[in-house]
Structures are given as structure tokens and as C-alpha cells.
Structure 1
Amino acid sequence: MTVACESGDVSPTVLITGCSSGIGHATALAFNERGWEVYATAPDRSSIDDLEEAGCHVAKLDVTDPGDAGVVADRIVDEQGRIDCLFNNAGYGQIGPLEELPTEQLREQFEVNYFGAHRVARAVLPYMREQGSGLIVNTSSVYGRTILMGQGAYASSKWALEALSDTLRVELSDHDVDVVSLEPGPVETEFGERAIGEIDKLERTGAYEWFYTLFDTRRYGRRLIDRALGHVQPEDVAEVVIEIAESEDRPRRRIVGPWKYMVWLGYVLPDGVRDRALELLKRLP
């Protein structure tokens, strides 16, 4: 894949979802600075006007809309002749005990985090297979391989996305299309603010008061969401995405931030030990 923009070189193209803020926004700017043809997208086109001013191509793409992804993919090929990379970044998290979470809310979580990623991948894959190359980076999470009580909806969607990524990678091996799972730990973005805002949708039973203590912003802030110990900034994640995209030897998955040690520890500890450690969190004052 050519990444330089010197005379005679062809700039590679990247499609990024969820660019209105956070990781998507930072990664669009980083790719643009590296000389890629960046197609930055968001459900609200006006939310990414600054990326257009910076030199990115911008488009409306709501990953829950069955038609948006195909329209954008067709446009990229019409304008650039190819699609080299898809960064499936759109997603959000909601928190709450699973019993108190209405099933419809869980369905909406999967609609964006899982079905949305699948929908956009399906739109670009015919072009990648035809050109005989391509890369899909799916934004999973360390919660794609670990759990935390109160974040079961988000973790469930990311565990599913991990399976999607692993399966796609094997299925696409004959077509030289790589699939990488990006697994950030906590990243300080609008993620935590939105997650806190979802609490009002819970159907409280009175059985899980520890949750309302742990996620009380007046007591612990967002320390169990996007401002947890070891959290990183969106720009840190963007650097890793660029590294993956421009590497000739890509990893199958890449953890971002110091939480990789927690994931590794999870493979060593018996489930019972992990569960008892999480039980201690529930007893914080």
C-alpha cells in the first residue's frame, strides 16, 4: 500500500465512521496529516464540518441506516477508484445492571456497535475483494475480552464484534483483506458522558444500589468509565490505528493502553478469582 503523496504516487483511501468526536475525529485528522484520502463520516453531517475544512472528504453515514454505507462506498470508488481501509469506529456504551436494562435498549446497543460494523463492512468488501487488497479495523475494546459489572451491554456487543472480526479475517484470507480488532482501554472522550446519560432509561428494581454508588458522578466521577486509571487520549488511539494501517505485518488484535495487563491477567486467573475481585468493587463506600 502506497502512503506517500509524492509526485506519481497514489494516496490510499480510508473510510472512517463515527467522526463527530473522540477517536474517530482524532483518527481522521491523523490519516489526513499522513497524506491519505480521508472519508470522514457521521450521522450528522454538520458535526464534521471542521474535518472538511482540514482537508478531509466528509459524508453523512448513520451505521444503523441500511442505505448510507453503500452510498458512501460507491462515492469513494467513483472518486478514488479504490477503498484501502475501513476504520469501523462508530459506537457507544450504555451502563446499568442487565436486569434493569430494557431489552430494546440492549438491541439498540448491538444495532450500532455490532450490526453497524457488519453493515459498513459489507458495503466495502466487494470493492476490496475486487482490487485484491484491503484492511478493516474494527474498534472493539478491552471489554471485548473482559467484563465489568454494570457494563454488560457494552461488553456483550464488543465480545460479539470480536467474533465477527476473527471470523471475517479467516474468511477473507484468500482475498488479501486483513481484519484487525482494535482494543482500547478507557479513552477520555464523550463516551462517558453519554453513558452516564443512559442511566435515566434504566428500570430500577432496588436490587443493585451498588451500581448507583459506583457510577455516581458526584462520588466517583467517570472513574469506572472513560476516566479510569490508565486512561488514554483519542490521539493515542489514532497513532495506533495509523501504525496498523501502514504496517506490512499487522497484528490480529491490538490493545491500546496499560489495560492490556488486565486482559492478560484475565487469561491466567480462574473465573472464580476474577469474580471475587469484582465483588470487592461492589463494596466500595
Structure 2
Amino acid sequence: MTTPTTGSVALVTGASSGIGEATALELANAGCTVYAAARRVERMAHLIESGIRPIPMDVTDDVSMQEGVNKIIADTGRIDVLVNNAGYGSYGALEDVPMDEARYQFEVNVFGAARLTQLVLPHMRATRSGKIVNITSMGGRIHTPLGAWYHATKFALEAISDCLRLEVKPFGIDVIVIEPGGIRSEWAGIAADKVRAVSSAGAYAPQGNAVADSLSSESNQRRSSPPELIARTIRKAVTARKPNTRYAVGFGAKPMIFLHDVLPDRTFDAVMRRATGIPST
């Protein structure tokens, strides 16, 4: 069973490319009034043709988030759907990654989503309805080499989502986690650049170069799923009367989570080393 989305107001962050852009288009096609938020508003100009309303928003800037939410409320009086999609992958050996970069990763991937949720919740509680969709990753359930800080943010967002789901249930609000696998987007290239910047030389160079090459390989891009697959899943979730709490979707998501859950830790470690081409010694 599904509920109609016509007339619903949706805010999608990180909407200038990839999953965010595809989701904005998918929800607009479903009849939502969609506000597409990102730092680079000029990259969203083409979305206006689809009836989408681009707004500037930096999820590490509290004033920016407040202004964005206030504009939507002033325009429409409500926010029915929040898609916390803004995020990026910062890879590198734990020892190599500067703490400022680690903190920034949390600011974008965790604290930005949490703060925006705080700003939106009073308006959802007022209508006793709403859907909060947090885009984590299969990386919120598994671990990969040199991804300590990235995985830490995604594990954290998974935990926040579970606790929030309990808190807001009395107000008729659903919290939904989307766990993408490999997706064709800018993400892999950014993660590869990050690991090369900090771990392509020194003690972790063999691992760093192997992981960077794996992330940026043509075969990795070919196997990856299109962002539209995730967008369709988000539409399915926000239109369902009783959505699942989690949707693992996209290349590798379900099998990798399954292997992580059933294999001993050291066996899964070996699988990850082989998958990324890391030398055994």
C-alpha cells in the first residue's frame, strides 16, 4: 500500500549530482514540491525545468541550514520529506588522515544531517507526519581498508537513525535508512583522490595505492549501479504506508552485508583485502 505524494514538500540535500540529483527528479515526478539543496546552486539550474526549486545550503553552516528551512516554511508552510543525502567519502589510513579532515567528515556526513533533522522535526511534529530518509551506505554495516573515518560516520548515522526512529514514532514520523552499494557517481573519484593525498607514500603506501586504484578503476565504475536505482528506492520508501526501516540496494550491498554478518571477522578482512588488491604482506 502506498500513499500519494502529490502536494508533499520534500527537501533533498546534496542534490547537485549523483543520488541527490536523481532523487530530486524522482520525487518531483511523483508529485512532490521538491527543494534541491547544495552548496553549488549553479550546478542545479537545469533542475528548474522539472519544477524543482534549487536553494543554497551548506550542511556544515548552521545559518545556511536555518535559512533554507525557513524559506521552505515561508513558501509552503510545511516539510513532509527530508532526504539527508549530502556526504562524501574520505579515505586514508587512520594514522595518516589529519584530524581536521576527520572532523570535517563528521561535520558533513553526521552532524549536518542531525542538525537539519533538528530544524525540520518541529514542522513534522506539527502535522504529526513526515518521512526522514538518511542515506548511509553498505559502509554503515561493513568495513573496508583505509576507510576508518568514512565508515565511522556511516555507522554513526545508522545508530542515530535507529534511536531517532524510536523517538519520533509517537508523532507519526518515519525514519528510513537507505544503504547504497557501489553507485556510479563522483563519490569513488573523490575517495580515491583523498586516499592518494594522504596514504600514497610512507608506511601505508602499498595499501593506499591499491585502494585508490580499486576505487578509480574502470571495472569498478562498470559494475556500479546508476544513482537512479537509489532514487527509485527512495520514492518507494517515502510513498509506502509502512516503509521498511532499511533498504540495502545497489551493486554489492546485499551480498557484502550478508558476508559481513555470517563470516568471522578475520575471514571478512581477508575478503576485503583481496577485493581491493591489497598485498598480503
TM-score for the superposition, normalised by structure 1: 0.90
Q: CA deviation at 1:203?
A: 6.3
Amino acid at match of 1:85: V
Question: In the alignment, is the contact (CA less than 8 A) between 2:259 and 2:268 conserved in 1?
Answer: no
Q: Does 1:246 align with 2:239?
A: yes
Q: CA deviation at 1:204?
A: 6.2
Question: In the alignment, is the contact (CA less than 8 A) between 2:230 and 2:249 conserved in 1?
Answer: yes
Distance 1:175 1:283, change over 3 A: same
Quick check: 207-216 or 48-57, which moved more? 207-216
Q: Does 1:56 align with 2:52?
A: yes
Q: Does 1:188 align with 2:201?
A: no
Q: CA deviation at 1:265?
A: 1.8
Amino acid at match of 1:262: M
Which residue, 249, 271, 276 being the options, matches 2:270? 276
Which residue, 42, 64, 70 being the options, matches 1:46? 42
Question: In the alignment, is the contact (CA less than 8 A) between 1:187 and 1:227 conserved in 2?
Answer: no
Q: CA deviation at 1:221?
A: 5.9
Secondary structure at the aligned position of 1:87 is classed as strand
- Which protein has the bigger helix share? 2
Distance 1:54 1:228, change over 3 A: closer
Aligned to 2:72: 76
2:58 and 2:224 map into 1 onto residues whose CA distance is 28
Q: Does 1:234 align with 2:227?
A: yes
2:54 and 2:271 map into 1 onto residues whose CA distance is 45
Q: CA deviation at 1:264?
A: 1.5
Amino acid at match of 2:233: V
Quick check: 171-180 or 268-277, which moved more? 268-277
Aligned to 2:202: 206
Distance 1:79 1:235, change over 3 A: same
Aligned to 2:153: 157
Question: In the alignment, is the contact (CA less than 8 A) between 1:2 and 1:12 conserved in 2?
Answer: no
1:178 and 1:4 map into 2 onto residues whose CA distance is 15
Question: In the alignment, is the contact (CA less than 8 A) between 2:184 and 2:224 conserved in 1?
Answer: yes
TM-score for the superposition, normalised by structure 2: 0.91
Question: In the alignment, is the contact (CA less than 8 A) between 2:93 and 2:199 conserved in 1?
Answer: no
RMSD: 2.2
Question: In the alignment, is the contact (CA less than 8 A) between 1:137 and 1:180 conserved in 2?
Answer: yes
Secondary structure at the aligned position of 2:220 is classed as coil
Aligned to 1:8: none
Amino acid at match of 2:232: E
Distance 1:187 1:164, change over 3 A: same
Amino acid at match of 1:231: S
Q: CA deviation at 1:200?
A: 5.1
Distance 1:138 1:4, change over 3 A: closer
2:278 and 2:139 map into 1 onto residues whose CA distance is 18
Aligned to 2:20: 24
1:4 and 1:128 map into 2 onto residues whose CA distance is 15
Aligned to 1:262: 256
Distance 1:221 1:203, change over 3 A: closer
Q: Does 1:142 align with 2:142?
A: no
Amino acid at match of 1:247: A
Amino acid at match of 1:227: N
Amino acid at match of 1:275: D
Distance 1:138 1:167, change over 3 A: same
Which residue, 165, 176, 179 being the options, matches 1:169? 165
Gaps of 5+ in 1: 6-10
The percent identity for this pair of structures is 36
Q: CA deviation at 1:82?
A: 1.5
Question: In the alignment, is the contact (CA less than 8 A) between 1:148 and 1:278 conserved in 2?
Answer: yes
